[in-house]
């Protein structure tokens, strides 16, 4: 795609500008509000999303947007940007560094570009249909661990009240010695950078996970929902180093 490099440059610029605002509020926490779905939101979330949209819209006025804070804008456009300005707002408001901006570009139903930026720890992942995943501009890759028993597994604990999810967690926990509840952006981030072999969750929205479809894949891993669909965007999500994906799908199916 001829203009993919231009998309990349604008996306990185938008991400950098938004991260400056996010980090200001990370040091100067704004008022916390509660959305209808009981999740927290701050001025940082809204202002960061506005910055991303305005930066991209200035360069590509015909593009559409789907954001966590402001919803749909020309979503049926040929190109649609999907935005989560701060994934991990609960961590953010408690002064914990495990939060990030997730940005992706969808074209003809497929994600062609993805960014995961964790500004508080200084790490930015980028991948596209034409470029392998990089961490701060340098190549990164999933781990090569082949046994689940030797793996480091992460999950999002927000759905512990769901019996099926709890059964999956219990089953996996019996098989591994290293299991943690690092949810949100960092769960996928750790898989893409080889620090963890598996991350799974229930209940994510498109803006939570769309970028990781391509980031995980271009880092050598595998991404799908719990049924194995690599292009699903929501409800369930599984990211692995690829070597453990089928085994995890089997565990999930039988739980």
Residues annotated within a binding site? 68, 84, 86-87, 208
The string of DSSP letters for the chain reads -TTHHHHHHHHHHHHHHHHHHHHHHHHS---EEE-TTS-EEEHHHHHHHHHHHHHHHHH-TT-EEEETTTEEESTTSSEEEEEEEEETHHHHHTT-S--EEEEEEEETTEEEEEEEEETTTTEEEEEETTEEEEETTEE--------GGG-EEEE-GGGTTSHHHHHHHHHHHHH-SEEE---HHHHHHHHHTTS-SEEEEES--HHHHHHHHHHHHHTT-EEE-TT--TT--SSEEEEE-STTHHHHHHHHHH-
Residues contributing to the annotated binding site for Mg(2+): 68, 84, 86-87, 208
């Amino acid at each position: 795609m001829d203009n993919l490099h231009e998309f990349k440059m604008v996306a990185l610029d938008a991400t950098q500008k938004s991260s400056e605002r996010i980090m200001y509020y990370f040091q100067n926490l704004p008022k916390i509000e509660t959305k209808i779905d009981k999740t927290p939101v701050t001025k940082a979330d809204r202002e960061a999303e506005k910055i991303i949209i305005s930066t991209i819209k200035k360069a590509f006025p015909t593009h559409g947007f789907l954001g966590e804070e402001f919803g749909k804008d020309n979503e049926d456009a040929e190109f649609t940007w999907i935005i989560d300005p701060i994934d991990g707002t609960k961590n953010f408001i408690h002064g914990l560094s495990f939060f990030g901006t997730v940005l992706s570009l969808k074209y003809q139903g497929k994600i062609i570009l993805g960014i995961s930026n964790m500004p508080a720890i200084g790490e930015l992942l980028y991948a596209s249909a034409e470029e392998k995943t990089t961490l701060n501009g340098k190549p990164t890759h999933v781990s090569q661990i082949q046994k689940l028993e030797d793996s480091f597994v992460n999950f999002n604990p927000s759905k512990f009240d769901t019996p099926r999810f709890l059964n999956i967690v219990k089953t996996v926990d019996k098989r591994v010695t290293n299991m943690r509840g690092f949810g949100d952006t960092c769960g996928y981030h750790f898989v893409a950078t080889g620090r963890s072999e598996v991350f799974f969750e229930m209940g994510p929205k498109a803006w939570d996970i769309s970028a990781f479809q391509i980031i995980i894949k271009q880092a050598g891993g595998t991404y799908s929902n719990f049924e194995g669909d690599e292009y699903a965007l929501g409800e369930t999500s599984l990211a692995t180093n690829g070597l453990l994906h089928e085994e995890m799908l089997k565990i999930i199916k039988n739980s």
